[in-house]
């Protein structure tokens, strides 16, 4: 059975058997997802370069929530485009734990100030030309 949360007020998704799953900042009544509620999209493969520890945190967060990395990134971006936070307090706590585990000491103040260093990649190539 597929369930979806109908708005931005949902905090937990509840399965048909009553198990609670933390998911974003959503809190509200669950409704059955019908075919007309699905949005058909076209996804493309991309080769985005991203800071190594940020990627580790994102991948671990996605795995924890049984989501794909792409789904997490799409959710973050769509919330940001609407000026909303994509994370619940519990998710933010999980992210703090993951940042500590992966030694990610960057925060939003580092945005637009990151400069890639030259490093040996696979097969001896440099990361920056």
Give the start-to-end residue ranges of the domains of the chain. Answer: 1-34, 49-107
- Per-residue confidence (pLDDT) for residue 53, from 0 to 100: 97
Q: Rg of the chain over CA atoms, in angstroms?
A: 18
- Per-residue confidence (pLDDT) for residue 17, from 0 to 100: 35
What would the mean pLDDT of 67-79 be, rounded to a whole number?
Answer: 96
Q: What is the mean pLDDT of the chain?
A: 77
- Which of the four pLDDT bands, split at 50, 70 and 90, describes residue 99? very high
Give backbone dihedrals phi and psi of 72, rounded to 5 degrees, phi first. Answer: -65, -50
- Per-residue confidence (pLDDT) for residue 123, from 0 to 100: 60
Name the residue with higher pLDDT: 73 or 9. Answer: 73
What would the mean pLDDT of 40-49 be, rounded to a whole number?
Answer: 92
The most confident of 21-30, 53-62, 112-121, by mean pLDDT: 53-62
Would the pLDDT of 41 be above 80? Answer: yes
- Which of the four pLDDT bands, split at 50, 70 and 90, describes residue 22? very low
pLDDT digits 0-9 by tens, 107-120? 999 999 999 988 76
Rounded Cα distance, 46 and 128, in Å: 19
Rounded Cα distance, 61 and 53, in Å: 12
Render 5-25 in DSSP notation, one character per residue: --STT--EEE-TT--EEE-TT
Would the pLDDT of 121 be above 90? Answer: no
């Amino acid at each position: 059975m597929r369930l979806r949360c109908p708005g931005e007020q949902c905090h937990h998704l509840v399965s048909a058997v009553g198990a609670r799953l933390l998911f974003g900042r959503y809190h509200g009544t669950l409704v059955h997802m019908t075919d007309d509620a699905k949005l058909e999209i076209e996804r493309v493969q991309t080769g985005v370069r991203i800071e190594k520890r940020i990627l580790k945190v994102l991948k671990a967060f996605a795995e924890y929530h049984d989501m794909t990395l792409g789904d997490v990134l799409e959710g973050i971006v769509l919330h940001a485009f609407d000026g909303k936070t994509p994370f619940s307090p519990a998710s933010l706590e999980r992210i703090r734990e993951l940042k500590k585990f992966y030694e990610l000491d960057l925060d939003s103040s580092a945005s637009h100030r990151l400069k890639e260093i030259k490093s040996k990649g696979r097969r001896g190539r440099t990361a920056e030309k």
